[in-house]
Amino acid sequence: MALIAPRRDRRAVGYAGLAIGFAILALLRGEPSDLALAAPFAVVVALGLRQVRPIEVSGKIHFETVSSFEGDEVRGTIELIRPAGLVATMSVDNRPGWTAVDPGPALVWTLPPGGSKVVAHFTVRAESWGRHRLGAVNVSFRRPYGLTVWESSNDNSPSFNVLPTPEHVRQLLPPPASQSAAGVHISRLVGEGFDFAELRPYVAGDRLRDVNWRASARFEQLQTNRRHPDRSGELVLLLDTFVDGVGTASATSQAALARAARAAWSIAQLHLNVQDRVGLATQGRVVTQLRPRSGDRARYELLQTLLTVGGMVTAGESAVSRHRLNRLPAGALLIAFTPLLDQRFAIDLLALHRAGRPVMAVVVELVDLLPPTTNQAEALARRIFQLGIDEWREDLVSAGVPLARWTGDADLTGVLGALNRLHRTVRVSR
């Protein structure tokens, strides 16, 4: 419940001035007829200023769903309790992360004076992943014939989560060191499992079903199959949150980050589904680290962290700082998602690679996210910008970091397949 003090409409000052001025004129001239000039203004002022007391108002915002996917429509209501007899105009400031659908193109309502409790329904479209809030709710009340206005603004709305849309991924990346928990990755060790490892002569105690009859016939001696045990892997998703600009990130930068987050979330889900341990580290404007975990708790923590990071970057609520990435688990495969907007992230990746960490990079392409150039100067600036990205990418490739480029509409499976092949090549060449 808030107490709102009134303010005068601008007409009130002008009207009161004219009413008094014409009355004085009538006095000075001794012409009663001049009072007819003052009368309309005086009447409206008298009618309009009859109520100048503060009023009590309260409101509540409610979302029908707390979580939705990018592109989904989120419905909600704003409940307002006000003194009866006041016309209310309510508007919600736009914030990044969503757009108004109904009422559109902006959330604005004019609520008639009847009844003290009013409910305004709204629908917004979730545009980018993250934890978002509606903007400040501005309410203005006035009486139908009033010259006073009661205005209030409240920027304390509840948040709603927008989840990144999972990309279509089937390819599992092979973590370099397997863990002891059972999973689907093939260990370098030999033991119980499904994937063939080697043949060896039969020894007492071998199971009959492990006997390879064809090989036994060829070698004229019983041979048994040996298999790799299935083990889970450890994976850390490294997200580049460096953005352009010093305040709010540009739309392109936000879209690139959203694209990277979608890819990261897709890969995380895939690996969590097969009991891998998945962690998250972000570097740039928002810095955070989640230790690799498996299971539903890991999934929940990962999603919450991604949403928080997305919301903070979208709202421009964080500052650039560096974090020591060498604290990441030593045996974990690091998959970096970056648009390479900032050289510092590339430097971090190179440092990890030179320290012997298994690092892969998915470079998120920005070309389709940039607005078309309108003149030669812009085209030249765009080329210089692209050359900078290309140079950093070449630095990573020449250092031996497995790297694949990804545009949002491309199949992530293909990108991960390419990374997988590169990873093997790099390991063989060592």
The contact set with other proteins (CB under 8 A) reads: 5-11, 13-15, 17-18, 20-23, 25-27, 29-44, 46-47, 49, 52-54, 89, 91, 103, 108-110, 112, 140, 144-145, 148
Interior CA angle at 184 toward 176 and 180, to 5°? 65
Least distance between other proteins and beta carbon 43 (Å): 4
CB closer to other proteins out of 22 and 345: 22
CB closer to other proteins out of 3 and 379: 3
Least distance between other proteins and beta carbon 46 (Å): 8
138 touches 120 (CB < 8 A): no
CA dihedral 245, 246, 250, 256 (to 10 degrees): 80
Least distance between other proteins and beta carbon 126 (Å): 23
CB closer to other proteins out of 7 and 60: 7
CB closer to other proteins out of 49 and 251: 49
Interior CA angle at 240 toward 288 and 248, to 5°? 90
d(CA 104, CA 81): 23
256 touches 364 (CB < 8 A): yes
Least distance between other proteins and beta carbon 73 (Å): 18
CB closer to other proteins out of 49 and 370: 49
CB closer to other proteins out of 8 and 382: 8
d(CA 147, CA 49): 6
Outline where DSSP puts E strands in 143-276: 148-154, 159-163, 185-186, 195-201, 223-228, 230-231, 234-241
Distance, CA of 309 to chain centre? 7
